[in-house]
Structure 1
Amino acid sequence: MAEPTARARTNASSWIAGLSKLSLAALLLTFVTFIHLVGLGVFTHGFLLTRLVIPDVAAPYKQAGDAPLPATHSKAVLIIIDALRTDFISPHHPSPKSDNHHGVLTLPAELTASQPGHSLIFNSFSDPPTTTMQRLKAITTGSLPTFIDAGANFASTAIEEDSLISQLNAANKSVVFMGDDTWLNLFPSSFSQAYPYDSFNVEDLHTVDNGVIEHIFPLLHPDNSTQWDFLIGHFLGVDHVGHRVGPERETMRTKLAQMDTVLRDVVDKLDDDTLLVVLGDHGMTTKGDHGGDSELETSAALWIYSKGKPLAQGASSEFDWPRYTFPGSKESLRHVDQIDLVPTLSLALGLPIPFNNLGSVIPELFSGSLETLETATRVNAEQIARYVKEYDNRDVVWAVDTVTKRSTAGDDLASKITHNRRIAQVALENLRALWAQFSVPHIIAGIVLLALSVAATVALYLGVRNSGPKWDDYVRLALDTAITTGGITSSVVGTVAGVYTRDPAVAIKTFFVSTAAIASLLLALPLVFRDRKTSWRSVTLSQAIGPAVLILHAVSFASNSFVMWEDRMVGFLLVSIVLVSLWRALLAPMASLRLRILLYSLGLAIIARAMGFSTICREEQQPYCRVTFYGPSGGPSDWGLYMAPVAALMFLPRVVAVVLSWSKSYNGPAPFFIAAVWRVLIIVNTLYWVFEWMETWDGLQPDRIPLVKIMKLWIARVSLGASLGLLPHLWYNSGLCIDVVKTADQATGEEEVGVYGFGNSYGSTYLLFLLIIFSVVHLVSASAGQVVLCLVLVAILLYVELIDAQRDSIVMKLQFANSASPGAFDGPSNALVRPSFTDAVPLALLALLAFFTTGHQAVFASIQWKAAFVGFETVTYPWSPALVGLNTIGPLLLVAMAVPLVAIWNVSPRPNQSVPVLAHSVQLALAFITYFATITLASAVTSAWLRRHLMVWKVFAPRFMIAGIILLAVDVALIFAVTVGFGVTSSKVYRTFRSVSE
């Protein structure tokens, strides 16, 4: 690429020309973030659309006689036991049987055995995502959830489409609710009485359940029967026990026993005309979590009981209804879809079926005669056909019409019933496959924007790298051209779009999209006109290995198998690229350098392999994966609980001190900062998770639990306060990690001043900043994650030492080559080695490996919700979502913020800030961003190309969402690292250098 002219600065706009180099770097990274944000926004707008909601409402019956079927019951009690998995109430226990959750809640099985005509147990399929808000939408509207809806589980929004609740209100029925406050968010003005309780405090196992018990039994008393027609009680204790300790603990047995007692009391107080429905909104995994699509998460219990009127009668016995065998069981259960509850309850209560319903009536409840069952299935099929016609998707309409037009005239009632149910099933199958209506133009535009953003970052990387000391002139000119030209053109395009559409939103969207596209294109143009003197033949193996690994990683996203096993693949790529460095050891000019490069490379490879020991498995990886991040019961791993305090107390602070001592930098504020303050903080962090485990430890006396809770709460608050207040204060106001020693020359008597650690004053000061970030991420990570984070920090230190050794080797080779006589060495050199793209690739792989080995996967089920309560008793906005986010991507952000450390480690300051450490930091930041932008682009392309693939919503779409979140997080982290971390560091170094020189 041709070097920019000296006039570039004056050619730039005045406001850009007046920016300092640090501000220019921040503007550059911010502009790249803007391009990524727009590209991701456009693509997700086309790919992750929410389900099309049709506002039509089924017309209420003017009088009871208008209903196609007489109501079977006048009232209903709907009890939701959150996360009640099928096997928790099934009489057919899987093998091996668990004493903690099998055979505990026994009332449904007992009544089904003694009163088979009045009591029915089902396995109900809970469509993913298996999060509470989506499931409540499904069991009230009968509609399918969408993939992106899972992100709204923290902030539920009101249901505006037709629903069972709205039909009850239209029929002047009184609906009373108590329990999970998500109901009140979904139906804010639909209840005649409401008793909501906080739904996200998983630390609290009893408050919600006790509140439901307090209000439900008085309402069931005959004296209060006129106060309600439909009663909803939503218990949360089982779900919270699952999140806290998993299903394999005595705590779960106690909670299920309580639910059994509650149900017995409810049944005792029911009258003969009230229908009881008990269900779990979803299941839970073996460690108590939910949100994904595994079999244990989608298998939810459903029990329907009628005390007076019989349910299952002879008319349904001649049909072969679907059955389901729970994993490990030998006998099957009746199987329904959870959304089947909506048309069933509607017809049972004499109400119209909600317009958007896709569920099929449960035939047992209408099996008094074949005529009744045929009427129920026909009304259901006609309602679904109306919805499909209004939805107006050609493929779905054709599929349903094909089934509907098959003649049933003259057929017997049994054939008509089968035909009616087939219509409903075909509609559901096709709409499940459709899932969402893709917008192909938005998808293509998003991919183009993401591709242009990758080209732009590559061009900026090459421009900064090849411009040398004048990198800022290049960036000023590039940004000025992109912002000015892109802004003007986009303003015109946006204005024209707004005029022709008369929609300001379209104009604004067009402006931002056009700006991003044009600016990316302008920034990428230098790639076309790059310096022709550069030849691919001059590229060395060390320079080529980084791009080669990136290409391999990106191409792997085309295979669902590689995506599912990405955690292992990333570890393999990291070890491979590190071992490639071993050949550099053989080429180093000195034995000491060869030994250093060899040991650092082997050390990194060993750490990468050790990190791989911490695993959390996707469902698709079974049976070839064993979870080690959690213990056998879903709680903390024993090795994590034991090793985390030892690593915090003995291992990690000592390693940091030793590495700093190699460059004489364990001086100044470093000993106090690391050994006295930081060490105490990370020890306190480990104690938090020890107390978290003790709170649910069976050996703890119950009267000590409140004390443990208080100690845990204040440990977290003290650590957060110190990490966000004390440590930054100490770092900002302290000096450099140097030691000034004055000695007198014995011969001359003159005083000499020696400054120890000044050669690494950039690196050592920035390392203290990185330790602040580490302490925060360390707190919100569980014990096993804390051990992994310690390994990550050691890996970062080994890597920067490896890069430094490789730089020394290159400099020495140059010195030997330029010396006057063969084999001679003329002494130290002031030469600086520019970083390469390959230097950033191991850090990118380490960041991804840190994400996977701290207990995360690209699936909802791996989200560690416990982090939301670090320092808080209940869900507290915005802290709880922020803490969960920090737990999820914090390990990755820690590595991202270490990127400038590679550029400044063991680089000696020079007068007038002449060392291009900022240029090298920006160059490495752009390389790091390029890696994540490329794999995000690859993930978007494969998700779009395979959007009808069986695994799209299970594998490809979640990976794209994680890739997009990580890309934006990396962008923001690097802006923060360069502006705050590097900015304060360079300011300290410059002030100290000036004072020492004077």
Structure 2
Amino acid sequence: MKRGLVERLENDTLLVVIGDHGMTMTGDHGGDSELEISAALFLYSPTALFPSALPQEPEIVPQINLVPTLALLLGLPIPFGNIGEVMVELFSVVEDPQPHSSALAQASALHLNAQQVSRFLHTYSAAAQDLQIKELHRLQNLFSKASADYQRLLQSPQGAEAALQTVITELQQFLRGVRAMCIESWARFSLVRMAGGAALMAAACFLCLLVSQWVTYPGFYFCPLLLTPMAYGLAGAIVCAGLLTATGLKPDPVVLGAMAAVGSLLPFLWKAWAGWGSKRPPAALLPIPGPVLLFLLIRFAAFFSDSFVVAEARATPFLLGSFILLLVAQLHWEGKLLPPKLLTIPRFCLSASTGPPRHNGTHALGLGVGLLLCIRLAGLFHRCPEETPACHSSPWLSPLASMVGGRAKNLWYGACVGALVALLVAVRLWLRRYSNLKSPEPSVLFVRWGLPLMVLGTAAYWALASGADEAPPRLRALVAGASVVLPRAVAGLAASGLMLLLWRPVTVLVKATTGAPRTRTVLTPFSGPPTSRADLDYVVPQIYRHMQEEFRGRLERTKSQGPLTVAAYQLGSVYSAAMVTALTLLAFPLLLLHAERISLVFLLLFLQSFLLLHLLAAGISITTPGKYISQPWFIQGQ
């Protein structure tokens, strides 16, 4: 094929054959070795390209040099962000009778290339401050001198062969110096910072795990997690800055921040080890189902695969779907989908079937099917990585401002606002269903009034952003100002809500009690599962009466640790009201960072979380052989 193509080439045609990367002798092609990052470049034309004989060994040129070379050969402008250097050999005129024509053509190509690089360097240095100032001034002076010499040669080109070669050398020095300076500034990787960041992330995950276990105890408070770590973190940063200054090293903000984060973790880790870790087995720190842990490990290991970036859009849904099927199969294999008998003491004057009903298995299967359906729907909002040019991203990810047609834009805007309203209504209905909106606590008041304001602000911002180009000229300044104020207001409301939630995370109040002596409730025996509404009305109040007495006793035993305002109302749910409120508040700032139609994805994520947590809770028994009821974080209700 190549031979037939070469035979058909005209004299003014250049054949360029280039590979994207090389590979080692064993076939590896995703690393950073010399053989893997080198690619072959083949140039051919019926017209002679090089004035002298070719060298024995192939010449090595940077791949970025191909961009300005092809741009000038095709008569196109050189891309603005290019820092490559033209291949001057391709601009030689071998059979031209006029003297110095090849050198003049090479100098012209290099000068055009240098002008483009100089414009980019001037613009980039004005926007960013990461280039070396001294080297930048030297390169600018070199370009000014070479450009002045080139302009002088154009006015008197006779007898200037040596001057032309000097100009070519100066322009090449400028281009290569700019490339070296940019590479030194952009390709700086600190392995120490990377390792420190990974260690901090692992420590933060471990801290979240400890907190999730401590919240099951009434003596746990969130205020020490906010105030004490801040003091320790500030002390750690001051100590680190003092040590670096004493040793003559320049304080690095990243290192100072890392030491502050490490210092903030120390008091809590020490308290956890001294007051809690030694009293419970280490296995209690991982109350995570096996499939969940296996899925997380596989997802983490996938990042070390070279091909995962390309196949991520297909691999992640496959892993998630496999995890759901594995979880359902494990729950069925272990018999956890069948509810246990409530009590085994016979009940007087009432008979019930002793065989457990099998509706829980159907319920878990329905949750699994719902999750698989959500995964399929999430595929409609896929974004292709840059490494896969054949892939096409979903058109639903583009902002509404890029849409043409007012009717379609209005329909999509209504769908996005509808997703926000659906999220707000779902959260409020859930909180009302589990008696969390009956409290006058600040966090509950914020949910009542703050969340609707955040929805209104987000919807108004989307309306302004989608129609900013269509606004009248006299209102464009007002629209621009509102487009800046509204996102900041929504983010400020979210931050205020999170602070209120950290201050008073409980969203139900304890009922005031008198000092009268308490008497234990006598439970009427009951056998078998409830089979009717009357049975539920008979059993549930007794269960909660007993739970409140047990919980009140625990509160009294830990009364010296601080104010106690926690109480349980109704049966709760598989997630706490505080977690639902926190996730809802965090969703709004994240929505403002994406296009409007991503709100549908956030609503889908909340639905997936709802189904997944219910599926996980389906296989966890609420009865424990211990004295108290202890539940993992994802099945704690308020």
Normalising by structure 1, report the TM-score: 0.34
Normalising by structure 2, report the TM-score: 0.50
Looking at both structures, which has the greater relative contact order when contacts are Cα pairs under 8 Å and sequence separation is at least 6? 1
Structure that is richer in strand per residue = 1
Structure number with greater Rg is: 2
